[in-house]
Amino acid sequence: MYVGYPKLTQQEHLQHLPKLSGDCCLPAQAVLAALLPGESAQGLRLTSTGNGPVYIVTLEKNRFVALDARTGAVLPAVDKAVALKSAALFAPNQPLQYRDLMVEDAWTHSRALDGYRPLHRIEAGGQGETLVYVSGKTGEVVRDASLTERRWNWVGAWLHWLYPLRGGSLNGWWTAIVVYSSLAATLLSALGLWIGVLRWRRRCYNNGSHSPYRTQVGRWHHWSGLIFGVLVVTWILSGLMSMNPWRIFDSSTARPVRQALQMAPASLDSAAQLACLQRNGFTAVELVWTRLGDAGFVLARNARGESRLQPESRCDPMIRHDFSALETAGAALLPAASVKSATIQEMYDWHYYTRDEHTMSGHLERPLPVLRLQFDDAAGTWLYLDPHSGNVVHRSDRPGRVKRILFALLHSWDWGPLLANRPLWDVLMILGSLGGFIVSMTGVLLGWRRLVRCGC
C-alpha cells in the first residue's frame, strides 16, 4: 500500500539524461542499415548511456539492439566500465560500487525486463543505499531499488507474491503454485465461512456464547471469520484472478494493434530534428520515432518529462496531435472493425485511471486528455490514444473489463470515490487487512493445536 515493488518510472528515466546536441549523431537511416538482414525495426529511440548517445532499436519478440549514434556500429555487450558510466548518469555525484553481472534477483523478476537481461548490479550512494540495474544489452538503467524499498519488500511484495519460490529450482512451477494454492485457499475459505454461518446460533449454546467453540481462540476465529470472511474470500479470489488463470481473460477475437515504424528519410535525420527543436526553445534528452496514420513524427522529451512532436515534413514542433487526425489514425488500427463512438476524455473513469507511483500499476502512463475509441468488433475493444504522442496508452476489451472488477476492484479497492477520499481508503484497507490477519492467525493456531493433539 505504501512501499511498492521497485520499478523505474518514465520521469526517473528522463531526469538525469544529458541533453542531445544537434551534432551528436549520424542520421538514424544510416544507423538502421547496420541491422542484420531480415531484422525488422519495431521501434527506434535516441537516448544516452555510458556509451554516449545511442540508438536503441526494438526488434520483434521484445528484443533490443544498441547502436553507437556517432559511428553507426552495433555496440558489443555492455561491460563493467560502461555500466558504471551509465549508473553515474543516473546517480550523479554519488559513490558507486560495482557488484556483479546477473540475470535475475529478488528485485528484477518483472517480465518487462527480459529483453534487457543480463543486468549489471551496482550500488549507489554507499552502504547499499540504492541498487541500480543496468542492461547488459543496451547500457540503459532499467531499474533502481532503494534500501527502504528493499527492506519493506522483504515483508511486503516478496512474501505476498511468493517470490521466495522464484529464481530457484521451483521457478518453473511458480505460476502453478500461486494459481492452485490460491484456488485451494479460496475454496477452503468459502467452506469455512459457510460452516461458520451454520454454527452460529441466535440462541446461546450451553457455554453462554452464540459460538459453540469453548476456547478463546476458537471463538475469535469464529467471530472474526463471520465479520471478515467475505473479505478474506474476495481478496484471495481476486489475487487468483491477477494471474489470469488458464488464460480465462484472453480474448480470442481481439486483434493486435500495430503501429509500424516505416519512416520517411527526412524524419530520420536526427541532427536536423534536434536543431529544429532547439531553434524552438526545446531541449531534448530523448527522441522516439513514431507515426500517426501516414505521417511520421519524432516525439521529443526533455528532462522534466515534457514532450514535443516534430513532424517529418516541416520544422514546426507542436504540443499534441489534432483530435480529428488522432481519430482517423486510431480507426485504422483495427481495420476489420469500425468506430462506433469517439470521446475526448478529460477525466479518469471506471476503466481508465491512475494510481500512486509506487503501486503495482503506478508506473503506467495515464495522461489526460485522451481520445477513447470504442469499436464494434466482437471483443468490444476500446482504445485510449494520447494526443501528446499518438500512442495507444490503454486498451480494454470485454474480458479485460471483467478482470478489472474481479482483480483490481476486489483486490485493491481502486474505486474512484474511495481513491479520491484518502485516508478513508487507507482506514478501510488497514482494518480489512487486520481482520484478515486475525482470521488467518487464529486458524493457523487452531490447526497447529489439532495436529499436536493427533500426534501428526
Instruction: Give me the pLDDT at residue 254, please.
Output: 56
Domain extent for 341 = 265-412
Q: How far is CA 424 from CA 258, 351, 354, 359, in A?
A: 41, 21, 18, 18
| Residue finishing a domain among 145, 165, 185 | 165
Instruction: Give me the pLDDT at residue 285, please.
Output: 97
| 237 is a domain residue | no
Identity of the residue numbered 391: N
Instruction: Give me the pLDDT at residue 228, please.
Output: 97
| 388 is a domain residue | yes
Same domain for 270 and 160: no
Same domain for 151 and 272: no
Instruction: Give me the pLDDT at residue 169, please.
Output: 87
| 110 is a domain residue | yes
| 445 is a domain residue | no
Instruction: Give me the pLDDT at residue 127, please.
Output: 78
Task: Give bridge partners of residue 56 from the DSSP assignment.
Answer: 45, 66
Instruction: Give me the pLDDT at residue 346, please.
Output: 96
Instruction: Give me the pLDDT at residue 82, please.
Output: 97
Number of domains in the chain: 2
Instruction: In whole angstroms, give the CA distance from residue 416 to residue 434.
Output: 23
Global pTM? 0.91
| 175 is a domain residue | no
Rg (CA), the chain: 26
**Residue ranges of the chain with pLDDT lower than 70?**
36, 252-267, 456
Q: How far is CA 309 from CA 254, 317, 330, 370, in A?
A: 30, 5, 17, 16
∠ CA 179-180-185 to the nearest 5 degrees? 105
Identity of the residue numbered 92: P
| 235 is a domain residue | no
Same domain for 139 and 27: yes
Helix, strand, or coil (residue 307): strand
Count Cα atoms within 13 angstroms, Cβ side, for 65.
19
Instruction: Give me the pLDDT at residue 240, please.
Output: 97
Instruction: Give me the pLDDT at residue 24, please.
Output: 84
| 63 is a domain residue | yes
Give one DSSP letter per residue of 89-153, joined into a string. Answer: HHSTTS-EEEEEEES--TT---GGGGGG-SEEEEEESSTT-EEEEEETTT--EEEEEEHHHHHHH
| 38 is a domain residue | yes
∠ CA 284-285-289 to the nearest 5 degrees? 75
